[in-house]
Every structure is written in C-alpha cells, then in structure tokens.
Amino acid sequence: MKVAVVGAGVAGLASAIELERLGVNPDIYEQRYHAGDLAPFSATMLDIGLASVDNQIKHLEKNYNIKLKPLNEIKNVVVHSPKSKFSISGKMGSFIKMGQDKESVQQQFLKNIKTKVIYKKYIDYLKIKDQYDWVIWADGSISVPIELNIFEPTFQGWVRGAFYTGSFEPNRADFWFDREFAREGFGCLTPFNNKSASLMLQVNGITRQELHDYWDTFVNKIGYKSMGTGYFETEFQTGRLKKHVVDNTLFVGYAGGFVEALWTQGVLFSTISGAEAARSIVKGDNYEKKVKQLVKTNHNIYDLRQRLSRLDNQGLDILIRMLKVPGVKQLASTGNYSGIKLISRLITRIIGEDSKGNDY
Ligand SMILES: Cc1cc2nc3c(=O)[nH]c(=O)nc-3n(C[C@H](O)[C@H](O)[C@H](O)COP(=O)(O)OP(=O)(O)OC[C@H]3O[C@@H](n4cnc5c(N)ncnc54)[C@H](O)[C@@H]3O)c2cc1C
C-alpha cells in the first residue's frame, strides 16, 4: 500500500507514527528544512470543555500510544476582563512547546518515526493524489478544502506573538478578553518556564496592518510594553469541513478543520485526527465516524465563541463577576462540557437581563 503524508506538523507526524505502528511506511513530505513552527511558542493543552477527555496527555498515551512530554502542568488559569479577573486552580492541563527545538511537540513526534521525512519538498495536491493509494493531507492550511468547496469558515483573524524574558509563574496561564484590543479574540501569556514566556494576541476581522495598533494597545494596557523580542505574525482561519475524505485523500489537523475557535487549540484533535486517518486507511475504519465527536466538540466550542462575541466590555465584566460567585465558580471549573454549558447560560442571561437594564 502506497501512502503519502503531506506536511510534517503535528497531524502529519501523528499519522506517520500510527501508520508505522500498523506496518505501513509512508512517504512523508515537508516543504520546510525542518519539522515544526518557525517561531517557538508555549501552547496550552487546556483540559477544559472536552466532554470525554480529562487529561489530554494521558488520553493520547492510552488511546494512541503517543507519549508527549509537556513543559509544565497548568495549575492556575486567570481570565481577565477589562475591569475584573477570575482565577481557577487545579489540574487544568499542560503547557507544551511548539517549534523546532528538541522539547517541541513536533520534534518529540519525529523521534518516534523511523521513516525519513523528505524535506524541502512542496507538494501540489492535484499532482500527488494520483501517485498514491492514499494521501493524508496535513499541510496546516485550509486552501485545498476551499478549492474543493468543502470548507465552511467560522472564525478568521490575525495573531501576533512575542517572546518575553523576566520572571513568570511556570504553572499559570493568563487570558485577556477585551474588545478594545482583541475585538472578539483574546490575548494570552503562556510561560515556557520561570524565566521566559510567550505573549500572544489574536484579533478577528482585521488586516495585518491594523494588528500593530491592537498589539500596542494590548501591551500598554497589561503592562508588557516594549519588553518583547522575536515577534511573529500569522493569519488564522478556523472552520469545519463538510466532509473529511475526498476520493483517496483524508484531511487531518488544521486542514481538516480540527482547530477550535475559542482558544485556537488544535494539538489534541490534530494528533487524534492524524492517528485515526492512519487507522482508517490500514484497518478500514470509517474516518468520518471516527472524527464525528471531534467535529461536535469543536462545534460546541464555536457556539460558545459566538455567544461570547455578543458581550461588550461591560458584559464581559459582568460574566467574570458572575463566575466568581461560590458554587458557580466550582461548576465552571469542572473542566468538562458542563462548564461550557454553564458559561453559555450565563451569557444568555446577561444579554437578556442586560437589555432590560438590570444591574449585577
Ligand atoms: C498562533 C497559534 C497559536 C496556537 N496555539 C495553540 C495552543 O495553545 N494549543 C493548541 O493545542 N493548539 C494551538 N494552535 C494550533 C496548533 O498549532 C495546530 O493545531 C497544529 O499546529 C495543527 O497541526 P497541523 O499538523 O495540522 O499543521 P502544522 O503544524 O501547521 O503543520 C503543517 C506542515 O505542513 C507543511 N506544509 C504546508 N504545505 C505543504 C505542502 N504543500 N507540501 C509539503 N509540506 C507542506 C508546513 O510547512 C508545516 O510544517 C495554535 C495555532 C496558532 C496558529
């Protein structure tokens, strides 16, 4: 059986690990000189909002035999609204490193693959699909799904990130929601360790030029002005695919619509979709069925994203104040889907009550 994997990112490498485990050595193509994002950043695997997964790292090891060493555990998440903040403590997930360093997810995955990646090779979808029995498309973009008219967009915007040195709490993630600098997106501070961190801002519905003004407002407002180095900028677009298999091609990772629209998390679902695509090819499993739950979860998260988008800054402050109420706080911190439902209900209440002029 001839299988091509296009893209040596998280999803492509996960599919290669599983293919090899099942006895198939794929051809793995990567356009870059190395596997992994060009700019390193500390990403979160937040175990919040995932109905059936309470620890992503353990889930991958137990169900897919994929071992991932995180940078640190996330023990404290602080969510800031313009005038308030909400802090949750407990086992909240893990920080992982993205990039090309040896601790990065991509390099960790790469170590588990015997097949040599074919680097510096850009692949054209239309040319490759007839040369293989199966193609796993993992190019980290939605351009082919758009061409095939199977992509439905949900959230689009620009991200700017920077690397900071200083003093940080290595187990704490901060998120900022503020319409003034993030519109319906957010900012976040995620440490690599106690001496360095990445700061990121994700703003929807703007141009790249506008991003700089939003960034300046962001760093001024949270007090991180002009300390950053190593800036990176990237456009992102989340969405869902009408189908994930076209002829002999299976779409995985970002290209399969497996990045969610709230925190833009995608490592877990990209890994799962890659491994499930491999299993479907070799064992004849139904890939659409295997990824159905992932699609549903991302849809629920997008629903919350849309509800959040309906709150102005005052509404965001009200939400954070509501979340601090004892009992409500415990429910919202359960780390599973009920937390998302609760927040959705609170938002509906704010919008409804707010329009009647009630004061919280
Ligand atoms: C700014 C930002 C922040 C994020 N933060 C988080 C986070 O905190 N937590 C989280 O879980 N997820 C996060 N994500 C999402 C996460 O990075 C993605 O889920 C994940 O990288 C998707 O993996 P992938 O393999 O599909 O794509 P990628 O990692 O993008 O890999 C695609 C690979 O394919 C290669 N390629 C592209 N086209 C071709 C071609 N034609 N031929 C050959 N090779 C090609 C690329 O060079 C690249 O190496 C973030 C994403 C972004 C953009």
Q: What's the pLDDT score for residue 358?
A: 34
CB of 251 sitting under 6 A from ligand 1? no
Q: What's the pLDDT score for residue 9?
A: 97
CB of 264 sitting under 6 A from ligand 1? yes
pTM beyond 0.85: yes
Q: How far is the CA of 266 from the centre of ligand 1 (A)?
A: 8
CB of 27 sitting under 6 A from ligand 1? no
Q: Would you say domain 3-307 falls under CATH 3.50.50.60?
A: yes
Point out the ligand 1 atom lying closest to the alpha carbon of residue 12: 25
Domain boundaries of the chain, sorted by first residue: 3-307, 308-355
Q: What's the pLDDT score for residue 351?
A: 81
Q: What's the pLDDT score for residue 15?
A: 98
Radius of gyration (Cα) for the chain, nearest Å?
20
Q: What's the pLDDT score for residue 184?
A: 93
Query: Among residues 82, 79, 44, which one has the least CA distance to residue 323?
Result: 79
pLDDT digits (tens, 9 = 90+) for 307-357: 899 999 999 999 999 888 877 777 666 655 567 777 888 888 888 754 443
Q: How far is the CA of 349 from the centre of ligand 1 (A)?
A: 36
Point out the ligand 1 atom lying closest to the alpha carbon of residue 253: 26
Q: How far is the CA of 309 from the centre of ligand 1 (A)?
A: 25
Q: What's the pLDDT score for residue 33?
A: 94
Q: What's the pLDDT score for residue 347?
A: 86
Strands 151-165 and 196-204: antiparallel
HEC letters along the chain: CCEEEECCCHHHHHHHHHHHHCCCCCEEECCCCCCCCCCCEEEEEECCCCCCCCCHHHHHHHHHCCCCCCCEEEEEEEEECCCCEEEEEEEEEEEEEECCCCCCHHHHHHHCCCCCEECCCCCCHHHHCCCCCEEEECCCCCHHHHHCCCEEEEEEEEEEEEEEECCCCCCEEEEECCHHHHCCCEEEEEECCCCEEEEEEEEECCCHHHHHHHHHHHHHHHCCCCCCEEEEEEEEEEEEECCCEECCEEECHHHHCCCCCCCCCCHHHHHHHHHHHHHHHHHCCCHHHHHHHHHHHHHHHHHHHHHHHCCCHHHHHHHHHHHCCCCHHHHHCCCCHHHHHHHHHHHHHHHHHHHCCCCC
Which residues of the chain are modeled with pLDDT < 50?
Answer: 354-360
CB of 30 sitting under 6 A from ligand 1? yes
Q: What's the pLDDT score for residue 357?
A: 37
pLDDT digits (tens, 9 = 90+) for 115-150: 999 999 999 999 999 999 999 999 999 999 999 999
CB of 254 sitting under 6 A from ligand 1? yes
Lookup result for tokens 């600098």: 181
